[in-house]
């Protein structure tokens, strides 16, 4: 049975002047979080990673009724701190699912909505990052 969370999720409320927010990418039992800057065109399409650099975390997601538990590691940071060990140890977090709406969830005290507003080339970048770094979890390093 496909995961009802499959897709790309963005915060419902975004400050587009800043453009910095987390994207959640969920595919079956894989969970990827990409923090970067985005911009929006006049037709409401979103351009992914308009500024250089991003932070990436990935792991697995397990859904149980209206709660999803994620086990996640920081894999890449554009500017890591000296004290950062990458990949980081596994952290546990929770996603709360809306019983009535399949397009809404709560993550880290923010409401997220499923989106299809990314331009095709942006969607390709997100897919590529998610697939490449999902391999990191299996092999220990991203494919070159």
CB atoms within 10 A of CB 102: 11
Task: Supply 39's token pair.
Answer: 């911009």
What's the pLDDT score for residue 123? 85
Average pLDDT over residues 3-19: 88
More confidently predicted of 135 and 98: 98
> CA–CA separation, 14 vs 23, rounded Å?
11
pLDDT at 86: 87
pLDDT tens digits for 105-116?
999 999 999 988
pLDDT for 25-71, tens place per residue? 998 888 999 998 888 877 778 877 766 678 889 999 998 888 999 99
The dihedral over CA atoms of 114, 116, 122, 125, expressed in degrees to the nearest 10, equals 50
Query: What confidence score (pLDDT) does residue 141 get?
Result: 47
pLDDT at 133: 67
Which of 54-93 are b and which e, b meaning 16 or more Cβ less than 10 Å from the residue's Cβ? bbbbbbebebeeeebebebbbbbbeeeeeeeeebeeeeeb
How is the chain split into domains, by residue range?
7-139
Predicted confidence at residue 78, as pLDDT, reads 85
Residue found under tokens 């909505």: 113
pLDDT band at 137 (very low <50, low <70, confident <90, very high): low
């Amino acid at each position: 049975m496909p995961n009802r969370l499959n897709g790309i999720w963005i915060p419902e409320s975004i400050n587009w002047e800043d453009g910095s927010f987390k994207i959640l990418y969920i595919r079956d039992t894989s969970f990827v979080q990409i923090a970067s800057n985005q911009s929006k065109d006049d037709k409401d399409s979103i351009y992914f990673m308009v500024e250089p650099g991003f932070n990436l975390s990935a792991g697995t997601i397990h859904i149980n009724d209206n709660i999803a538990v994620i086990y996640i590691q920081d894999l890449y940071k554009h500017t890591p701190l000296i004290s950062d060990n990458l990949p980081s140890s596994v952290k546990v977090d929770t996603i709360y699912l809306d019983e009535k709406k399949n397009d809404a969830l709560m993550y880290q005290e923010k409401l997220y909505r499923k989106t299809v507003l990314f331009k095709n080339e942006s969607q390709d970048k997100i897919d590529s990052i998610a697939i490449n770094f999902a391999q990191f979890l299996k092999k220990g390093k991203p494919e070159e």
